[in-house]
Each structure stands twice: as structure tokens, then as C-alpha cells.
Structure 1
Amino acid sequence: MRFLLSSRLLGKVAVITASTDGIGYGIAERLAKEGAKVVVSSRKQKNVDTAVEKLKAQGLNVVGTTCHVAKKEDRSKLFQLAESTFGGVDILVSNAATNPTMGGVLDCDESAWDKIFETNVKASYLLAKEVLPYLHKRKGGKIIFVSSIAGYNPMNLLGAYSVSKTALLGLTKAAAVQLAKDNINVNCLAPGIVQTKFAEALTSSEFARTEALSHIPLNRFGTPTDMGATVAFLASDDANYITGETIIVAGGMTSKL
């Protein structure tokens, strides 16, 4: 039996990258619970199978496929699956990101820099570009990038990653201006510290947790569910008059770590 939190997204089809765990999974689950048909993806088939099984067990309308966002054929496969299974695409959530190195921005070696920007920025740009024919068929749609509070307040241990997330803020604004005439809204989510595998360095040890929480007025880390709720709003008709904006979901966190 399918349980819907609301019917805001009934009839909509959403494609979400890196959505078998963490923030991406939270987004996929929430969009599906609000009525969307959802395509989830991961680089590993095992992760895809596990996520699809968990979501379908809740009665949610979900399919999945492997996708390495830096590969054109994999990006194309996402949209083709959405069209062949669900009839089109209304919502793109670009969530995939990587961070193969830690340290200050000018300590990042060139190969790590290239990998970070290929996945975090270039792939987001290409996904947005390649989804356009599908959105035009629907006479409009929603594109949502996932940035980070580090895009506003760079974290020294995440130097190059922080810069890549700043780039997404600019991509959001520029694409929103260009696509407004096509009835396509482009917005962005900037999570704070979310309790996921990616953030384990900041959430696992007692010392790190205490230090991180001292910068968060709400005194807790975010959850994938928190992020999914905000994306569901941005993907819905409730956000039709919002474009080019980034919503920070960080428990009031504004200070640098």
C-alpha cells in the first residue's frame, strides 16, 4: 500500500543522482512520498538494488539504474529510463559530488581538483543541459542543484570542495535567468552538516561532534529527511515563483569550522 505525505508531486517524474544513500536517498524518499515517480541512481548496482527494494517496500513508485555522472552515456541512460518507464521528466535533482582530498584549497593537487570539478560542477552543468529536451516536452519543470554551506563559508579541510560548491551557486543563478522564459525553475539546496557517511569526520568522534555542534544554534546535525523536505518544496508548484535561489538548511549555522 502506498502512503503519501501529500499529493503535491502526483503526476511528476523526478530524476535524482547519487540517491541510494544519505542526502540523495532522503530526497528520493520524500519526493516519492509526495506522489512523484522517481528514478534513483548510484555508481554501484548493489546500492541501486538495495535502495529500490527499500523504497518499493514502502509502496513507492521507484526505479533505479547505475550512473557515473561524469559519463555521458550514463547521464543519458537516466533520462531515457525515466521516459521509457514513466513517460518523461519533470524534476532533476543534481546531487552527486565527490571529495577525494582534504586540506586547504591551494594544497589540492591538480588531479584531485579536476576530479572534484568534473563531478561536482561540470556534471551538474551537463545534466541540466541534457535534461532540457525532456523538460521542454513537459512545457516546464524544476532543476535543483545540491550545493553546501561550505559554498558560502569555505571549510579549510574541504578547500577545493568548498570552491566547487560555490560554483553551483553561480550556476543556479545563471541558469535560472536563461530558463525562466521556458517555465523552468532552477534553485539550489545548501545543506549544513548532515548525519551521513560523507560527514563522518565531523560527526563520529565526541570531540569533533562537540566542536561542530558549537557552530549550530539548533544544536543538532541535519538529517537526509530535513533535506528531502526542502527539495520537495522546491520541486512542487508551491515554489513556482521562486527561481535562482539557494536555501540554506543548516540549523542556523553560519560560522566557519
Structure 2
Amino acid sequence: MMLDLKGKKALVTGGGTGIGRGIALALAEAGSDVVVHYGKNAAGAEEVVNEIKNMGRQSLAVQGDVLKREEIETFVKQTADFFNQRIDILVNNAGHMVERSSVEEMSEELWHKVIDVNVTSTFLVSKFMIPFMKSSGGRIVNMSSLAAHNGGGPGASAYSASKAAVIAFSKGLAKELAPHSISVNNVAPGFIGNTPFHDTFNTKEGRENAVKGIPLQRAGVPEDVAGAVLYFVSDLGSFITGETIEINGGAFMR
């Protein structure tokens, strides 16, 4: 068994920065051609694309708001056209907390936005991608979170609910797609440092305290998440579907 993705075709949503960037580059390093989706960070996506091309792989940046069905359908079609209508790997990485808010103060608009950016986007990207994966089987990896298990920090109830929903959705989709030899799994990162997410939603003191609570005594890095994705999409994970890998340094153990 080998971790060799030579000739594979992949799409990574939110691949221009943070964890998505780490995943896109790791897939390319393992041999895959990669389309890098982005929402607003065009410069970041193009930088990742150039790094992938420098490895001798094919790559393309595609833009789309994952809150808009028609834009999702468009960038999936662009990906399929770029790869001659065959896609082997989908990583639904795009997502967001949007903002922290208590339930008492949360608007319905914010609730729906958080659910849509994390759950509905995962549903829609998968929905439009499936027809291009059926011919040769494929691997879907969705992005959950430690928050799905522990409720997250203050004001993260909507985000936590959305990430728990991703796990349940993935289990159902795994059963649905198993007859087509398509696996569906999740990664659930804990505290991953050096990412826009924690720079935006956690204070310096909060980040330091988070690390103190990790048994391995360090923050995670995007490459830690990328390693789990590689396991799922390579031959090493060929008999696994509907599962979640916890990537949190021991902060949560099942």
C-alpha cells in the first residue's frame, strides 16, 4: 500500500489559506493535480496554484461564494471541465464561524448564515460533484471541528451545531455513495495555530490558554490536518468510510 496520488484530480474548497492551503499543497506533493477554490482571497489562491505548478502538477484557481448555489455549481463545472469531467478527490474545507454570539442575542440571519456556510455548502458542493466521481469512484473529505464534540468556546453554539451536522451528513452520504465506491469521511481539527480562523476569533491569551490544555503541549499546524486527509484519500484509507479523525493533540479523546 502506498501514499501515491499520481494522476488523481482534486478540488479543495477554501484552498487559498490556512488549513485549506496546507491540504492543497500536500495533495500536490503526493502527486495529485489540484483545483484551488477561493471565496475572496484571490492572491492567496494564485500563490498556492503557482506552488503546485512548480511541483509539476496541473492547477487552477476558481472563485465562488459558497453561500450561493449558482456560484457553487459554476466552480464545480469549471473544475470538471479542467479535469476532463473526472474528479477523484473532493475536500470540503470552506467554512466559517462568521461571528461569536450568544443564543439569546443571536439573530436568525446569523444562525442561518453559519449553518449555510458550513453545512449547506458541504451538501451543495458534494451534490454537484458526485456525477463527476461516479465513473471511477472517489474520496470526499469534509471538515468538522473539535467544537462539534465540546460545543466550542463562548458564542460558538451555531458553529458547533453546524460542525456536528457535518459529521451526521457525512455518515448518511457515506452509506449513499458506498455502492459507487466513493468514500466519505471527516477530519475534526482542534486548535490549529497560524490560521486566519484563530487569529480572528481568539485573543492572544485565549490562544495561549488553548495550547496549555492540549496534552501534546503544542498547537496544531495545517500539515497535521493535511496528513489525515492524505490517509483518507490514498490507498491507506481505502476501506474506511463514514468516519472522523480527531486532530487535536489529545484535547478530546473518544
Q: Tell me, yes or no, whether TM beats 0.5.
A: yes
- Kept in 2, the 8 Å contact 1:202–1:208? The answer is no
Cα distance per residue 1:103-161 (max 9 Å; x no partner)? 334542211111111110011011111111101122x1111100101011112422211
Q: 1:14 aligns with which of 4, 10, 14?
A: 10
Alignment correspondent of 2:53: 56
Q: 1:85 aligns with which of 79, 82, 85?
A: 82
Q: How does 1:176-215 map to 2 (within 5 A)?
A: 176-195=174-193, 196-200=195-199, 205=204, 207-215=205-213
- Kept in 2, the 8 Å contact 1:89–1:135? The answer is yes
- Kept in 2, the 8 Å contact 1:101–1:108? The answer is no
- Kept in 2, the 8 Å contact 1:100–1:116? The answer is yes
**Deviation of residue 7 (structure 1)?**
5.8
Cα distance per residue 1:14-46 (max 9 Å; x no partner)? 111001000000000001110111000111233
- Kept in 1, the 8 Å contact 2:27–2:34? The answer is yes
| Identity, % of aligned positions | 34
Alignment correspondent of 2:145: 148
- Counterparts in 2 of 1:12 and 1:166: CA distance versus 1, 3 Å: same
Residue 71 of structure 1 pairs with residue 68 of structure 2: yes
Alignment correspondent of 2:248: 250
- Kept in 2, the 8 Å contact 1:32–1:62? The answer is no
Runs of 5+ unmatched residues, structure 1 = 1-5
> Number of paired residues?
248
1:214 partner amino acid: K
1:145 partner amino acid: N
**Deviation of residue 243 (structure 1)?**
0.4
- Kept in 2, the 8 Å contact 1:7–1:35? The answer is no
**Deviation of residue 203 (structure 1)?**
6.4
- Kept in 2, the 8 Å contact 1:144–1:231? The answer is yes
Runs of 5+ unmatched residues, structure 2 = none
**Deviation of residue 239 (structure 1)?**
0.8
- Kept in 2, the 8 Å contact 1:15–1:78? The answer is no
Q: TM-score, normalised by structure 2?
A: 0.91
Q: 1:31 aligns with which of 11, 18, 27?
A: 27
Cα distance per residue 1:86-107 (max 9 Å; x no partner)? 2221111111112222133454
